Structure 1
Amino acid sequence: MKIDVFAHVLPPRYAARVFELLRARGDRSAEDYERMMGLDPTLRDLDARFRLMDELGTDYRQVLVMAHTSVEHEAPDVALELARTGNEELAGLVAAHPDRFAGWVAQPALQAGERGLAAIEEAIGEGALGVQVFTAMQGRCLDHPDYEPFFALMARLDRPIWIHPNRTVQWSDFPLTEPQSRFGMYVRAGWPTDTTVTMCRLVFAGYLERWPELKIIVHHSGGTVPMLAGRLKTLQRGPETDKVAARLTHEPLEYLKRFYADTANFGNPIGLRAALDFFGPDHVVFATDFGFSTLFAPETIDDVETVIGDEDLKRTIYERNARRLLRLEAAALVD
């Protein structure tokens, strides 16, 4: 079986409310989001989704993850409403199509404080496999002290965290001279960079030292971490990094290797090889970034088939790691 752990979807009630809020706020990213969310019909049209899934084989299953939508700036009550709406729809899809979907990942409302944490526990109790957050929440890195209770909760619940990059076109490539990103570079280069920075910041903040049981899935094969390992293995000396070195009992790379990277590389076997080499086969999970191009899933499967010759190792990447990480061993995945 192939278990796709990062399969995006955008349910109708959640989508309508998100775009309504973005337009009402005059958010300049609203048009960009609506364009992006319309690139691939499989994101919002179940019939189109199922047709492509059928082409990928009868053994292909998805873990549903909400398509990235910029809602972290909403007021706490609105964020809670959105999270509950989205989570209800995701749970409903899994319940209605157990032969297609292996599970769902909850949307949080971290700006709601204790109520947001309670909503996460409620979602886990209702069947969510874990929680998705973004590299920038309310414009802040995930290592901000306000988010420590979230990481403590996920460590206690022993449930994985999915991290997705979320910079928008408003994040200029050259902020001193240009008003916004050009040529889609905020996605092409910016997102892997944001993933890398977030992973490092969580390590340097000591989160993986304090909560070694944390399980974090990072998108796009861990950004650029595998390719930058040489630059990341040591800390540049200075007042700030000296404090980091004092609180870490291992070298930075050891903590970075604890993350779980996915296989979503858009037809890039070099990236998959780098992820396997850096994170190790037990920390790479199958994912295709389904929902944003009909090419991503078949290209990802081709990458796995090309890069990995050993059939047993393929099964580890396609299925075993996901079952172990997401506690799917006891779940009856419908054949």
Structure 2
Amino acid sequence: MIKNAENIVVGISIGDLNGIGSEVVLKTFEDARMLEGCTPVIFANVKIMSYLKKSMTSSAVLHGIDELSQIVPGKINVYNLWKEGVDVNLGVNDDKVGEYAIKSFVAATQALKEGLVDVLVTAPINKYNIQSDTFKFPGHTDYLHQELEGNALMMMVHDNLRVGLLTDHVPLNEVASHLTEDLITKKIETVKQSLIQDFTISRPRIAVLGLNPHCGDGGVIGKEDDEIMKPVIQKMFEKGTLVFGPFPADGFFGSHQYEKYDAIVAAYHDQGLIPFKTLAFGKGVNYTAGLNKVRTSPDHGTAYDIAGKDIADFNSFKEAVYLAIDIFRSRKQYEEITAKPLKIKEKQL
């Protein structure tokens, strides 16, 4: 494949074939303008994708390939990862279909590691039917943390609203035990670095939400905010990181305080995602920050209830593609800028 410098190869794991993943993927790329700046590669099977296309009004033209070396720019490439047929029943939870979702994801991740694709965009999976003896992860993020370099952090993004998480897929009754000085420091540093290299914000301002109601009310409703979170935030601030808080979470979004910061760090999953999805559902993107490769996904799940009805909103998936491309380019620019002083020094020597 001869690759244009601006034509970024987007690897796509197809997700749950019984959900809306195929619909949002195909409807995203049926717009020819999407193929001008990127080349999609769907990890699935062209016969399955052609079959699923019949369930929707899509004008997407699919190009089947048997090797990743056969990727054609300007086409919707479907890499024939498997040859056998798959029983697809739209809207049905099926463990067998879950196996193919993971087969697609694992292969796409491997291609990302090897540089055969530039970025990864994942269609929704069902976290229940993907579990097996060979795949025991709560979701995409945990597996990517194992396979890629860096420290994975779940960050929800829509325009200037960015919400990162100290803990993600952790039971609520275990959250407090996870909030150590080391974890909080690492997560805030990851958010800071991502804002700098991925979003080109040179001096990012970061807000941290407290764990307990009213940040514990001086220890009356919990001591974690005073004894763990505040000291870490203060220490990082004194060392030059513009991090503030902890803030009581209940009024933070309603009072529009979030607009004053480049990112908000929530203590746990629902604390961050409920306000985010209230403000941006259907337009937001799930970005895995902190890794050496770029991965994004839409902000919704498999949506079995509307699968096959040809009514799925594909805007979040399209935004996930856009964000992956933008971050890939931002990182290239960041690498060039940070490498310049080294080149000057080498010349002087």
Q: Normalization by structure 2: what TM-score?
A: 0.30
Q: Normalization by structure 1: what TM-score?
A: 0.31
Structure that is richer in strand per residue: 2
Structure that is richer in helix per residue: 1
Higher RCO, Cα 8 Å, sep 6+? 2
Larger Rg: 2
